[in-house]
Amino acid sequence: MTEQNLEAKLKNLLKQEKIQLWNPPYTEQDQQPGQQHMQVLAERYAPLLRLPVSEVGGALESIRAQAVKRGKGNQTFRETSVATLELLLPRNAKKDPKVRTYLETRLDVSAQQVVDRVAEEHGLRSIKLILSGRTLSAERRLDEQGVKNHSKVMVLRVSDGELKQQLTEEEEERRSQEESVQRTQKGFQILSERDGSEDPDTTPFLEIADQKGNPLKIPPTEKKALILAMGFHEKGRALMKRKQHDNALCHLLQADQQFSKCGSALLSSVDNYAVLQLDIVWCYRALEALSCLEDGRSRLQRAEDCFLRCYGEQQERLLMIKGNTGREEVLFLRLYLLQSLLSYIEGSDSEARLQLSRVESLYARLRPDSEKMAQLMALGFSEREARLGLRASRGDLQEAPIHISTRRQEREELKQRERQKRRTRMEAISALMELGFSQRDAARALHHADGNVDRAYTILLDSSQDAQATNNNTEGGASPEKVEQLLYLGFERDSAEAALRLTGGDVQSATQLLLDNQGVLSPELLTPPSTSSTSSTPSSEEPSSASSSPEDSELVSEVLEDIAPHEEDYLDLTLEEESELISAMKAYLHREPAHT
């Protein structure tokens, strides 16, 4: 990381002085460095940066070599349409972390062809290509997906193909991990299509609620996208906890794609989108892929903007909703810490120090106090409750138990409301069933009536009358007078009635139909339509709830396991990883200047 910091500072100095290292006298005709002029430049910059001449000289040569390679790449692309891509390989796939990896390819080829080449040349299996935070589609061409000459492409491993196992075991693991994203999507797709009209004990469904647990009314299309987005996010967070950052990033990027389908008004009113941006950049950090600097910076800006809209400039909205701001402050700690890291990589040490000072101030207030935690846990509170309670009460040991008890009471009241809502619903369904409607129709009508029994009864009654009217329109056309007219012409009664039903009672059309079929209609046409199979018509023979395949049930159970049982799980950061990064940043920023 210190290399990136130094190169960023040198590039700023070179830009200020309009020095082009790829031109003479710094680069000679054979593309080799002009040693004397490069040495003079290093000796001039070293005192400014308070670093050894050798270290500055090495960084200058690295910048020069990159610029020369970029120039050659531009010429090659103009002459042959072969682009040069920089590959950001997984850490354990790099032979030398300081050496950049490049790949030359045409841009009119599919991403799958590049995947195959990277896999073969670097001994990797089951990889994905990420460009600016988007997963490249294997089937589509590179240029169709925004890949350009000199693009930086992140290579993300989604399974460990380098394990020396038997081939069958390797393939099984690869296939299992490749299916992870698809299984997650399928599971939450099923949940997103459930409207809550069935029995939640047998057919689980997801409901979008506000921070107080009140259901939100969201248009169906947006609700579906939001459930998928939140589902992928939960899966990604579960994988982050297991330190499976490669696989986690795949799921988080899928969540980002689904969030993009939601309206801006919705995204600006919830903090989920902001937390997702933080998690994606945190994965970049864990994977040492902060070369994706531009994408990381823009994501952090989106996160900060979203937090300000949701919580208020001074977190006044958050204070009004939740009564305190202590728990959410861990999100700002992580935001400022990542901003400090990116500023350092960009060579802006002063900005990095400023952000780090904000981080340290928050960390001093938010880090768990082991003694206070122990006292609260001795009172019967869980570790999570103790940690969140202390943050909400700003470390006040008297206020923390009150806060925790209040939160417990709020959650219990929410559960009681849910239980009462379910009991009321089952009683209403039973009442409608006593009137002769099926359980399934009663449940659906009640759902559409927002739980109002009278409105549900009206819906069911109207539905029955509509179905009966349809049957009357179909069968009523076969009036005795019209049937007699057709019988007079010599047609059989069954055929005459069927023809009149099919033609809506039009005698001329019925006559023509019978003539076309030589007076004999098929058995299917002779059979009157049954109303028992009409979904809108109540039937006591229908099953009590919508059936789902065993595979669907398995997928739903699988994805529900990854949903955190506690609604504030995303705020319950132990700050261990943050503490390590804070220490690393302090070491980077407080390096003793070397003698030059």
What CATH number is associated with residue 508?
Answer: 1.10.8
Q: Report the alpha-carbon distance of residue 34 to residue 182 in Å, rounded.
A: 54
Domain contains 2? yes
- Is the domain of 195 the same as that of 269? yes
Quickly count: other Cβ atoms within 10 Å of residue 478's Cβ: 21
Q: How many domains is the chain partitioned into structurally?
A: 4
pLDDT at 201: 57
Domain contains 345? no
Last residue of a domain, one of 521, 552, 573: 521
- The pLDDT confidence band at residue 454, using thresholds 50, 70 and 90, is confident
Domain contains 404? no
Mean pLDDT of all residues belonging to the chain = 80
- Is the domain of 146 the same as that of 180? no
Last residue of a domain, one of 289, 324, 341: 289
Ranges 147-161, 385-399, 436-450, 528-542: which has the least confidence? 528-542
pLDDT mean over 308-329: 75
Identify the domain containing residue 507 by its residue range.
480-521
Ranges 234-238, 338-342, 343-347, 423-427: which has the least confidence? 423-427
- Is the domain of 87 the same as that of 57? no
- Is the domain of 283 the same as that of 180? yes
- Is the domain of 193 the same as that of 281? yes
pLDDT mean over 500-510: 79
Q: How far apart are the first and last CA of the chain?
A: 21
Query: How large is the angle between the packed helices 329-345 and 272-286, nearest 10 degrees?
Result: 40
- The pLDDT confidence band at residue 13, using thresholds 50, 70 and 90, is very high
Last residue of a domain, one of 470, 493, 521: 521
Measuring CA to CA, how many Å separate 240 from each of 166, 243, 254, 279? 28, 5, 15, 9
- Is the domain of 203 the same as that of 126? no
Span 364-396, pLDDT tens digits: 999 988 999 999 999 999 999 999 999 888 888
Q: Is the pLDDT of residue 592 over 80?
A: no
More confident residue, 227 or 144: 144
Domain contains 129? yes
- Is the domain of 205 the same as that of 142? no
- Is the domain of 194 the same as that of 118? no
- Is the domain of 87 the same as that of 61? no
Domain contains 61? yes
Please give the DSSP secondary-structure letter assigned to residue 85. Answer: E
Domain contains 239? yes
- Is the domain of 132 the same as that of 88? yes
Q: Report the alpha-carbon distance of residue 542 to residue 130 in Å, rounded.
A: 49
Domain contains 373? no
- The pLDDT confidence band at residue 504, using thresholds 50, 70 and 90, is confident
Please give the DSSP secondary-structure letter assigned to residue 129. Answer: E
Residue in 514, 533, 511, 530 with CA at minimum distance from that of residue 522: 514
- Is the domain of 215 the same as that of 282? yes
- The pLDDT confidence band at residue 191, using thresholds 50, 70 and 90, is low
Span 203-228, pLDDT tens digits: 555 656 655 556 666 677 777 888 88
pTM over 0.95: no
pLDDT cut 70: percent of the chain above it: 77
- Is the domain of 152 the same as that of 247? no
